Structure 1
Amino acid sequence: MKKPLLAVKDIVQITGITARTLHYYDRIHLFKPTHLTEKGYRLYDRSSLEKLQTILILKEMDFSLKEIADILKLTRQEQKQILKKQRQTLLLRKQRLENIMTALDEYVSGNDISNLHIFNRSSVLPLKEQYANEARFIYGETEAYKVYNETMENLSVDEKEKRFSDIEEIYKQIASCIHQDPSSDEVQRLIEEWKENLMQFMTCDAELLACIAHTYKFDARFKSYFNQYGNEDLADFLYSAIMQNINR
């Protein structure tokens, strides 16, 4: 029995792709019809359908149309080698997507953006490292920053974690006092405790404290950071409490 020729509508019905896609594949010489009728209608034989299905599979494997055209010219063994490499590429992409999904879930659940490990497998630096570089760029020439940097370099990883943990605990306590006046004794006691903690890293004069307070209030990243402690107004509250402390 003679194999029938398939019209565009038949290919569309069999594969699910659109007629527009078939026409485009013809135009770029990726998948051309077997025959053209006198009226210009495209017809395809059964063997060309197998080629189209190979194209669709490769496209689903995330090859570009240009790459697919090149692959189709290769031997079966050469194609296998390329597919093995593509599998490794897709595996790395899968791991990256899983990393992004984990970071997304953590962020939605309230974790601070600076604690997300979203750039671990990227050329982009982790956010904490970006913040450190930014601080070095802005304050690197100041004496206070030099003292801070020297102090941090001399601390072990465990000591650094302990210092940051202590400061985070103070932020939590300040957050619990947010309904008080920023100048209240309780709030100011916590600000003094916060200052003492900072003094272990750098010399905190009024100018530097005012700069920190200003950053807390007007830098959106710090506002986001303080949101994790339960109140969106905490950055503004800290600003007021620090400025009250300076004016004392």
Structure 2
Amino acid sequence: MKKPLLAVKDIVQITGITSRTLHYYDRIHLYKPTHLTEKGYRLYDRSSLAKLQTILFLKELDFSLKEIADIVKLSRQEQEQILKQQRQTLLSRKQRLESIMAALEEYVSGKDISQLQLFNSTSALPLKQQYENEARFIYGETETYKEFNETLESISPDEKEARFESMEVIFKQIASCGDQDPASDEVQRLIEQWKPNLMQFMTCDEELLACIANTYKFDVRFKNYFNQYGNEDLADFLYSAIMYNINR
């Protein structure tokens, strides 16, 4: 029995791709019809379906059409070698997407962007290193920053974590006082606790405290960081409380 020729509509019905796609593949010489009728209709024999299915498979593997055009000309062994390399590429991409999804879920759940593990597989530096570079760029020549950096380098990771955690406890307590005046005794008592915690890392005069207060108020990253304590106005509240403490 002679194998029937398939029209474009038959190919569309079998594979699910559009006639426009078939026409485009023909135009770029990727997948051409087996025959053309006198009226210019495209016809395909059944054996050519295997090539089309290979093209669709390679496209699903994220090869470009130009790459696919080169791959289908190769032997099966050569194709397998390229597919092994592509598998590694896709695995790396999968791992990166999983990392991005994890960071996205943490951000949506309220975690500050400065604490996310991002940019580890890109040309951009990790956020933590970006912040360190920014601080070094702005304050690197000051004695205060040198003191801060030397202090961080001299303490153990566990002690460093404990000091930051004590700061977070105070921020949470201040956040719970959001219905009070920043100048209230309770809020100012907490600011007085905050200052020595800060001074574990650097010597803070009034000028530097004012600088920190302004950073809390105007740097969107700090605003986002403080949002995790459940008070969207905490950055502004801290600014007012610190400035009152300086000026009183």
Counterpart code for 2:51? K
Q: TM-score, normalised by structure 1?
A: 0.96
- Look up the match of 2:36: 36
1:144-200 Cα distance to aligned partner (Å, 9 max, x none) = 111111111112111211111111111111111111110111111111211111111
- Look up the match of 1:180: 180
Structure 1 stretch 155-164 or stretch 48-57: which is displaced more? 155-164
Cα displacement (A) at 1:222:
0.8
Q: In the alignment, does 2:207 pair up with 1:207?
A: yes
Counterpart code for 1:220? V
- Look up the match of 2:128: 128
Cα displacement (A) at 1:52:
0.4
Q: What number of residue pairs does the alignment pair up? A: 248
Structure 1 stretch 63-72 or stretch 121-130: which is displaced more? 121-130
Cα displacement (A) at 1:239:
0.7
- Look up the match of 1:57: 57
Cα displacement (A) at 1:228:
0.3
1:101-157 Cα distance to aligned partner (Å, 9 max, x none) = 111111111122211113333332221221111111111111211111111111211
Note the 1:137-156 alignment, pairs <5 A. 137-156=137-156
* Structure 1, unaligned runs of 5 or more: none
Counterpart code for 1:244? Y
* Structure 2, unaligned runs of 5 or more: none
Cα displacement (A) at 1:100:
1.4
CA distance in 1, matches of 2:13, 2:76: 29
CA distance in 2, matches of 1:93, 1:216: 37
- Look up the match of 2:14: 14
- Look up the match of 1:72: 72
Q: In the alignment, does 2:83 pair up with 1:83?
A: yes
Counting aligned pairs with the same residue, the percent is 82
Cα displacement (A) at 1:242:
0.8
Give the CA RMSD over aligned residues: 1.2
CA distance in 2, matches of 1:120, 1:97: 12
- Look up the match of 1:239: 239
CA distance in 1, matches of 2:101, 2:125: 18
